[in-house]
Structure 1
Amino acid sequence: MPSQVRVSPSLSLTNFWWLLPGLGLVVLMTGAVVRSLAESGWANGLSLLPVVAGMAFVVGLVLALWQRLSNWAVHAVALVVGWVWIVQQVGPLLDERLVSWRDRAVELTIRLISWGRVLASGGRGEDIVLFVVVLALLCWWLMYLTVWAVVRQQCLWLMIIANGVVFFVNYTYVLPKPDLEAIVFIIGSLLLIVYHHVMQHRAVWEAQQISYPDLLPLQAMWSAAVVGVVLIAGTAVLPAQIPPDQANQTWEMIRAPFRAVRAAWEDAFSTINAPPGAGSVSFTARVAPLGGSRLAGFDEVMTVRSTQLEYWQAVAFDRYDGTGWVNTTGELARAALQVATAEQARTPLAAGETIPLTDRRLRRVITQTITLAQERNDDLLLVGGSPLQFSVPARLEHMIVRDENGGVVPLYDDLTLATSTIPLVAGTTYTVTALVSLADVQSLRMAGTDYPQWVRERYLQLPANLPARVRAEASRVIAAANAENPYDQAIAIQEYLRRLTYTEDIPPPPTNVDLVDWFLFEQRSGYCDYFASAMVVMLRSVGVPARWVRGYASGEFDPEQGVYVVRENVAHSWPEVYFPGIGWERFEPTAASYTSEPQRPLQSVFGAEAEEEWGGTSSAVPNPGRFEDLEDDGLTASGVSSGAATTPESAQRRTIAGDGVRNWLLMILGVLALVGSLITGLRWWLAREVRGLRLAAAAYTEMSWLAYFSGLGQQSWETPSEYAQRLARILPEHASTIHGIAAAYVTERYRRGVGSYLPPETARRSLHRALWQYALRQAFARLWSPVGSR
C-alpha cells in the first residue's frame, strides 16, 4: 500500500506519458496563481508574468529530467536562466536608452542594492519596476519548483501550500475578486494531490510486481474530480456567517500575520496601485496613485447617526509627486521619534480621552454614531470633521515637530488618520465626538494668509517638474474671477473644475507625464481622484495650502432609521484648504450625483458669547448632550464612556434567536451530505478500481483499500499472508474471511492453474462494514481525545 517511494524520472516514452497529466495540472494550478497576479492591476507591466512562468515551466521540465547535475547545481542554473529571462522581459519598463541586456541588468542590480539599503535603514521603497521584478521572480520559482516537485516526486505538498499562500493573499486584497481563477486553482491543486498519491502507489506496486489498471492515474483523477464537485456542492448549503465572538477572535488570530506582512510589503513597495474598487475597502496604503477606470461596489459599508451632514474622512495625504499622492506623516513621525515603523510612531489614545486641538474657532461639537456593516480590514476610525474623542481606544497618526530645546512636540492639528486598537468587525458600533465647521464666508475671506510654519512646509509642496501651464491655468482662472483672497480663489478653481465631465470609465493614464496636467489639458474628464488632485495642485501653485483627503461622501439619508447609509460606491476623495485660526475646510470640485457642496452662511451665526464658548482654546469639551435625537440608540450622548466597541445586545439576541436553529440544521444537513457523498464516492471509486481484475485480486484490493482508510494499510515489507495475520489480530471475528481472501489472492497470482477458494460475498461485505466501523471509531477517538494524549 502507500509508501514514500520516489520515482526516478527518465526520458523514456512510458514515463513521459505518465508525467503528462501531472504537468497539465501544474499548468492549471500555478497558471491560475500567475494569471490572478497578472490581472490584479497592482502595477503596470504585470502582463509579462505569464511569459516568465511559461519559460519557467520549460526550464523546470528540462532540468528535472536531466540527471547529470546535482540538485543544487540544477537550481543554480535555473536561477541564472530565470534572471536572464526576467531582465529581458522587464526591459520595456526601463529607460528606453538602455538598449542592451547588460545595461538593463546593471540598472536593475543597482536599483536592487539601493532598495535594500533604503529598507535596511527603515525607509520605504518607491521603485515600481522592482515590484514587477519581485513578482516575476516569485512566479518563476513557483512554476519551476512545482514542475520539479511533480517530475521528481519531491515536496509536492510544500509547493501546493506555497502556491495557495500566494494566491489567497492576493485574493484577499485585490478587487474585483478572481473567482474563476480561484475555482481553477482549487480543482487543479486537489487533482494534483490525487495524481501525486497515485504515482507514489504506482512506484510501490511496480517494485512489488503488483498488477494495476493501465489508466489508473486518469481514473483516480476523474473519481477525485467527481468527489470534489460533490463536496463543493455540499459546502454551499453551510451557513455563510457564524455570529459567536469566538469566531471573530479566531479570525483575528489568523489574519494577524497577514496584516503584518501587508504592512511590511507596503513599506517595501509603497507605490503599488490599488486595483479598481480596492479603495472603497481599505485606505491605509501610504501611497494613492492616480489610475484608470474606477470600479466600486454597492455593498453597505456603515450607517452614521449625525445631526449634521458631513463627509466621513479616513486619511489625508500631503505630498504630490506627479503620479499620485503620498502620506508622509507617519514616516516623518517615525524619523522624529526614532522608532522602527510608522505604526509605532502613532500616539495611543484611551477611550474617552480628548485630543488637544487648537484650531477650534467657528466650530461646534457634535456626536456621530457609526455602525459598521462590514469588517474594516484597515481598522480605520472614520469621522466627519475633526475628531475630539473616540469611544474606543485608538492610535493617532500626526505630525511631530521639535521645540526650541530640541524636544519633540505632538501636533494634533495635523492629524492624518486614526485607527482602532481593537478589531472593527461587522456590527461594531462606536461614537466620535467631533468638531464640525460652522464657518461663514465672511470669516473665511478675512482669515488672512498668516499660515503656521508646518502648513507652509508641508501643504504648499509641488514637484519641481510640474508643467508651467498648470500654474498658468490656475492664475488665469483666479484672475478671471477677480479672486483676491484664498477663499475666493478656492471657489473660483472649484467652479472651474465642476464644469469638466465626471466619468469613472477612463483609459489608463500615460506614463512619464504629470497626471494633473494630463487631466486638465488632454483627458478633460475623470472621477473624484483627478478633480480633487487638480484643485489641490492648482491652489498650491498660487500659494494656498491644501491637502488631498480620502473617505466616503455623506451617503443616502434613511428617514425611518434617522441615519446616513454609506455604501462602497460613494468612496470619495476631496480637497481641504487651510485657513489660519479656523483649520481645514472642505471644498467639492467633483460634480457627481453622490457629492454635495458645503453650504456656508454669508455672515457669522455666532454672537460674541457663543464665539467665546465654542472658539476658545480650552481643552474642555462642551457637552453635546443637548442634541437629543442622538440618544435614541440607547447610547450616551457623548458615546465615550464604554471604552470598547459594542454590538447592540438586542441585535445579537435577534440574530441568535432567529438564525441559530436554522444555521445548526443547515450545518448538520451539510455535514451529513458531505459524509454521505464521500462514502458514495469512495465506493464508486473502489468499484472502478477493481474493474477488470480477477476475483481474488479484486477482493484483496477492496480489503486493502478499506483497511488503508481505517489506518491499517499494508506495509511495503509485508507479504499478503503477514498482512492478513495482522488484520486478523485486530478484527478476530473476521479472521477466517481475511485469511481466505489473502490465500485466494496468493494462489491466483503465484500458482497459476490451481483453483482458489474465495470466501462468500456475504462474509466479504460483513468485513467491509467492520472496516468502515473501525475507521469511524478511530476518527472519533482521535477527535475527542485530549490534545496531550495524541
Structure 2
Amino acid sequence: MTIFRDPAVLWRRITNRWRMTFHQGDMIILFITVVMLLMPALALQAASWPVDVRTIVPVVIIGTLLGFILARSHYNEALAIILSTAYAGVTIIIVAAINEPGDLLPNISQVIIRSIQWLIDLTTGGINQDNLVFTLLVAVLFWFLGYNSVWHIFRIDRVWRVIVPPALILVTNIIFYNGEASLDIYLILFLFGALLLIVRSNLDARQWDWYINGISAPRNIRMQFLRMGAVIAAISLIMAWAVPSGGLQDRLDAFQQFLQSDPMTQFAEFWSRLISPIESDGPATTDYYGSDSLDLGGAIRLGDQIIFLVNVPNDGTRYYWRSRVFEHYSNGRWLPSATLRVSDFSPPLDINYDPNIVGSSRRPLNQTFTISSAPSRIIHTAPQPVEVSIEGRMDLLRTQGEDPNSPVNLSVIRPRRVLNPGDTYTATSLLSTATAFDLRAAGTSYPEWVSVPNAQMPQGISPRVVSLARQIVDEAGATNPYDQAKAIETWLRENITYNENLPQPPTDIDPLEWLLFDIQEGYCVYYTTAMVAMLRSLGVPARMAAGFSQGEYDAAVGQFVVRERDAHTWVEAYFPGYGWVEFEPTSAQDPINRDGDEPQPETQSILPAATAVPTNSPTPLPSPTLVPTSTPESGQDQPPPPQLPSLTPTFTPTPTATPVIVPTIPPPVQPPPQDTSFLSFLFQALGAVLFIFLIFVGFILVLLFLYWWWEWRGMRGLSPISRAYARLMRYIPLVGLNIEEDQTTEERRDTIVRKLPQASRPVSAITRNYTHERYSNIPENADIPPQVTQAADEAWSSARGHILSRWIRRFIPFLHNRD
C-alpha cells in the first residue's frame, strides 16, 4: 500500500510502465497507422457504400490500440488473436448499439437479433440488405486490419503485410467507383502514410545492424529519419501524380473481362442478395437495372451502341423490354421488395402466375433476343413473362407474407451464366389487350398483396405533391383509377420538360417537390417516380418498371434494334381483373392510346428516352463508350406554366366489359405438401446426424491445426533436443512467465523451475541436454541415437503436461488461489 500513500512512487511506477510499453516514436507511428487505415474506410463512405463511419472510426482506433497492447505483451500469436477476436465482438456490438437511436441495452439486443436474422437469410437463400449488418462486417474487417497492422509493425516488422490489405480495399473502391466525388485525397494520404511506415521499417533494420556491430547512433535519429521521410514521400507523390498513365486503360479492361466470368458473376449475385448497393453511378453495362437500387440523380449520358436485337411482330403494338420492377421508394431511392430467390436450372424456366396477378384480356407474345455488344446479367422480356428458354434465377415477392403456398410476384430474372454477345434466348409474355372501357370498369377491390407494397405512400413525399395529385384529378373530373392515371400521365407530359442534363437534386428538399414545383425538368426516372407517388397518394396501386423502350424497327433484319439510349422506366398500375397495365408519363416517348382513350399528342421532343444508370452491385462490368445526348435549347428556355392546365377529357359511359378470348394461363404450381412419413423423419434424422458429424470433424480439424501451430510450426530442421527446447520456450508464456532474451539457458531453467517446481525434472533434462548439444563439439550432421530422441520426447511430454495443467488452473478461481 506504500504506492498509494506516496504519489511520487505511484507516478514513477506509471511512468516506467509507460516507457516500457511505448518506445520513442511509437505514438507517431500509431497515429500514422490509424490515419492510413481510416483512408479506405472514409473512401467507402465517400463512395456512398452503406457504412456508418460513426461505428467504423471508433472501431479502427480501439482495435489499433488494443492490438498494440497485445503486440507488446508476452502473449504468443495464437493467444493474442483469440483475445483480439473476443475484444472485437464486444467492442463492435457496443459501438454499433451506441450509434443506434434509443437506449443502449435494447439496442445491443437489436444489433444481435438483426445479425442473427441476416445469418438466417444468408443460409436459407433469402434477401437481406440490412445496412447495419454490412457496417458490422466492415467494422470486423477493419478491426482485424488494425490488429494485423500493429502486430506486423511492433512485433515482427513486416511492413508490406501492413500496407497491402488496406491498399487492396482502397484501390478496388477507386477503380470501380464512377460517381462525382473525388477519392484521390484518400489515396494520397494513404500512400503518404505507407511511405512513412516503410521509412520506419528500414530505420529499425539499420538500427539493429548498428547495434550488432557496436555502432552508436544519436538518440533523436528516429525523428530525423521520419522528417526526411515525410519530405521525400511528399516529393515522390507529387512526381508520381504528374507521370502520365499510358496503357492503364488496357490493363483495366483486361481485369474487367475477368470480372465477367461466371464465378465472379455468381459472387456478385450473392453479394447483392445480402448487401445493399452503393449510391454512386457505376460503369454502364447492359445490366442497367440489374442492381437493387435506382436513385433520382443528376445528369445522364447514354450512348448509341446496340444492346440487343428483338424479333417480334411489327404490328403496331407498343413494346417494352423489362428488366425488373421496383416497389419501395424512400427519399429519392427506389428498391425492390423481393424477399425470395428461386433457381431453376432445368430449362425452360417457367413462371406460373396466379390468375389474379396476370388478369384477363391478355395475349401471348413470343420474343427472340440476341445479345449484341456487351455481356448481360439480366434476362429482358416483355412485361409479365411466363416462359424463358434458358435456365436462371428469379427474385420473387410472396403475395401473402411468409406463406409458402401463396402466389408470387416476379421482380427480376437473371441467367445462370452471363449472356455474352451473340447469345440468343426466347421468351413468352402475356401482353395486356384491355381497353380503356375495360379498365374504367375494373373497380377498386384491390387484394391486400397488391395494396400493401404498391399503394402505400412513399416515405419522404412532400404534402405539396399529394395536394397537386388531388388538384389534377379534380380539375380533370376523373372519378375512377384509370381516368385518374391518365389525367396525371397527361399533366406530366404537358408540364414537365424532358431534360437529361439535370443538376444533382438538392439534399434538403424532396426530389419530387423539387421536380414538380422548382425545376420542372427531368428524365424518365423523375416522370415515373412522380406518377407512381401521385397515384399511390390517391390509393391506386402502382410501381416502377425498368428496362428499355422498344427501340427502332429495322426492316432489313426484321427485328427491333435496342440501343443504350433506349434505357427507360415507365409506370405499371394494377387494375382488378386485368393485372398490371403500362402507362407512359415521359414526354420524350410516344403516348399509349388504348381503345376508348382521347388521343394524346405525340412526344414533346425528338429526344430518345434515356435514363440514369442505376447503382451497380460491387462487382461491375466494363463501361461502354458514353456519348452525351444533346437537349434542345428550346426545352430549357421555356418558362414553367403559371398554373395547372384545365384538363377536360371526354368521358364515356362505363359499359360492361367486352368479352375477350383469353389465352390459357398455366395454373400456379403449388409447393408439395410437407411429408410427415417415417421416411421424411429418417431423412431429417440423418441430416441432423450428418450436421453433428460435420461439427465434430471441424472440431477435430481445429484441434489438429492448433497442435501443428504449437508443436511443429517453425520446427523443421531442428534436432529432437533443440525441438523440445524450442517448444518449451513457446509454451512457457502460458503460465505467465516472461523469459528475458539475455538470460542464459541455465538462468531460464531456474526461472521456470521456481514457477513450476513439479516440472523440475523434465525441464532440467531439456535445458541441460540442449546446452550440451549446442556448446559441445558434436558434429552438426552426426547421427542422433534413438535413446536420445526418445528421452527428449518423453521429457517434453512431461513438461508440456505440467505447463498445460498450470495454464488451465489459472482460469479456475479456487484452484488459481491455491497456486
Supply the distance in 2 between the matched residues of 1:81 and 1:448 (Cα, whole angstroms): 56
Aligned counterpart, 2:579: 583
> In 2, are the aligned partners of 1:279 and 1:571 still within 8 Å (CA)?
no
Q: Tell me if the contact between 2:349 and 2:392 (Cα under 8 Å) persists in the aligned partners.
A: no
Cα RMSD (Å): 5.7
State the partner residue of 1:40.
Answer: 47
User: The residue matched to 2:387 in structure 1 has which SS?
Assistant: strand
Q: Aligned partners of 1:597, 1:189: CA distance in 2, in Å? A: 58
Using the aligned pairs only, state the percent identity: 22
Equivalent residues in 2 for 1:462-473, closer than 5 Å: 462=457, 471-473=466-468
What residue number does 2:108 align with? 109
1:304 is aligned to 309
The answer for the alignment partner of 2:382 in structure 1 is 384
* Partner secondary structure for residue 275 of structure 2: helix
SS in 2 for 1:575: strand
Q: CA distance change for structure 1 residues 118 and 222 in 2, over 3 Å: closer, same or farther?
A: closer
Q: Which residue of 1 aligns with 2:626?
A: none
Match of 2:415 among 397, 416, 420: 420
**TM alignment of 1:590-601, pairs within 5 A:** 590-591=586-587, 593=588, 595-601=589-595
CA distance in 1, matches of 2:189, 2:242: 17
Report the secondary structure of 2:456's partner residue. coil
Report the alpha carbon displacement of residue 488 of structure 1 after superposing the two structures with TM: 1.6
Preserved contact between residue 443 and residue 480 of structure 2 (Cα < 8 Å): yes
SS of the residue corresponding to residue 432 of structure 1 reads strand
Q: Quote the Cα distance in structure 2 between the aligned partners of 1:417 and 1:55.
A: 42
Give the deviation of 1:540 after TM superposition: 3.0
Q: Distance in 2 between matches of 1:468 and 1:231?
A: 54
Give 5+ residue unaligned stretches, structure 2: 1-18, 599-657, 668-819
Aligned with 1:576: secondary structure?
Answer: strand
Matches within 5 A, 1:116-515: 116-122=115-121, 128=131, 135=138, 138-139=141-142, 142-143=145-146, 145-153=148-156, 156=159, 158-160=161-163, 162-164=165-167, 166-167=169-170, 170=173, 174-176=177-179, 180=184, 198=202, 202=206, 205-206=209-210, 208-209=212-213, 236=248, 251-254=261-264, 256-257=266-267, 259-266=269-276, 274-277=279-282, 281=287, 283-286=289-292, 288=293, 290=295, 292-293=297-298, 298=303, 300=305, 302-306=307-311, 307=314, 310-320=319-329, 324-329=333-338, 331=339, 342-343=340-341, 345-346=342-343, 350-351=347-348, 359=359, 361-363=361-363, 365-376=365-376, 379-400=377-398, 408=405, 410-411=407-408, 414-425=409-420, 428-437=423-432, 439-449=434-444, 454-456=449-451, 458-462=453-457, 471-498=466-493, 499-500=495-496, 504-510=502-508
AA aligned opposite 2:337? T
CA contact (8 A) 1:460 1:546 kept: yes
For 1:534-613, list aligned pairs within 5 A: 534-554=530-550, 563-567=560-564, 571-591=567-587, 593=588, 595-602=589-596
Answer yes or no: is the 8 Å Cα contact 1:366–1:435 preserved in 2: no
> Are the counterparts in 2 of residues 398 and 410 from structure 1 also a CA contact under 8 Å?
no
Decide whether aligned partners of structure 1 residues 537 and 107 sit closer, same or farther in structure 2, where only a CA change above 3 A counts.
Answer: same
User: 1:253: Cα distance to partner?
Assistant: 3.0
Partner letter of residue 371 of structure 1? Answer: I
Query: What's 2:619 paired with?
Result: none
Conserved 8 A contact 2:541-2:574: yes
In 2: Cα distance, 1:172 partner to 1:55 partner = 27
CA contact (8 A) 1:291 1:508 kept: no
Contact 1:558 1:565 in 2 (8 A): no
Q: Is the 8 A contact 1:552 1:571 kept in 2?
A: yes
Conserved? CA contact 1:149–1:156, under 8 Å: yes
Per-residue Cα deviation, 1:73-93 (whole angstroms, up to 9, x for no partner): 9959986997699679x86xx
CA distance in 1, matches of 2:88, 2:398: 45
Closer, same or farther: CA 174–375 of 1 in aligned 2, 3 Å: farther
Contact 2:68/2:154 (CA < 8 Å) preserved in 1? no
Q: Is the 8 A contact 2:157 2:201 kept in 1?
A: no
User: What is the TM-score with the length of structure 1 in the denominator?
Assistant: 0.55
Distance 1:118 1:291 in 2: 30
Distance in 2, Cα, partners of 1:300 & 1:584: 31
Match of 2:663 among 598, 616, 624: 616
Structure 2: distance between partners of 1:212 and 1:282: 65
**TM-score normalized by structure 2?**
0.54
**Residue 380 of structure 1 aligns to which amino acid in structure 2?**
I
Equivalent pair of 1:49/1:139 in contact (CA under 8 Å):
no
Residues 169 and 536 of structure 1: CA distance in aligned 2, closer, same or farther (over 3 Å): same
Cα distance, 1:132 vs. partner?
5.4
- Asked if the contact 1:374/1:425 (under 8 Å) is kept, the reply is yes
CA offsets 1:299-333 (integer angstroms, 9 cap, x no match): 8471233446633312213345666444334x2xx
Distance of 1:79 and 1:364 partners within structure 2: 57
Question: How many Å separate the matches in 2 of 1:397 and 1:210?
Answer: 71
2:528 is the alignment partner of 1:532: yes
Q: How does 1:72-111 map to 2 (within 5 A)?
A: 105-106=104-105, 108-111=107-110
Find the counterpart in structure 2 of residue 747 from structure 1.
none
Count matched residues: 561
Q: 1:297 to 1:402 in 2, by over 3 A?
A: closer
Answer whether contact 1:369 1:429 (CA < 8 A) is retained.
Answer: yes
Contact 2:272 2:291 in 1 (8 A): no
Q: SS of 1:367's equivalent?
A: strand
User: In the TM superposition, what are the counterparts of 1:48-63 in structure 2 within 5 Å?
Assistant: 59=65
**Unpaired stretches in structure 1, ≥5 consecutive residues:** 1-7, 267-271, 332-341, 605-610, 621-790
Matched letter for residue 505 of structure 2: P
Is contact 1:86–1:137 with CA below 8 Å preserved after alignment? no
| Helix, strand or coil at the partner of 1:549 | strand
Secondary structure class of the residue paired with 1:408: coil
- Residues 569-603 of structure 1 show CA distances to partners (whole Å, capped at 9, x for unaligned) of 65443211123444322212233x4x443344558
1-structure distance, mates of 2:369, 2:199: 55
The change in CA–CA distance for 1:193 and 1:354 in structure 2 (over 3 A counts) is: same
Is the contact made by 2:547 and 2:568 (CA closer than 8 Å) also made in structure 1? yes
Name the CA shift for 1:420/1:188 in 2 (closer, same or farther; >3 Å).
Answer: farther
Q: CA deviation at 1:497?
A: 2.9
- 2 CA distance for matches of 1:394 and 1:84? 38
Deviations 1:380-433, CA, capped at 9 Å, x for gaps: 211233324323212333455689xx982645xx32221111223455443434
CA separation of 1:149 and 1:566: change in aligned 2, threshold 3 A: farther
C-alpha change, 1:282 and 1:387, in structure 2 (3 Å) is same
Q: Which amino acid aligns with 1:546?
A: A
Residue 293 of structure 1 deviates from its aligned partner by 3.5
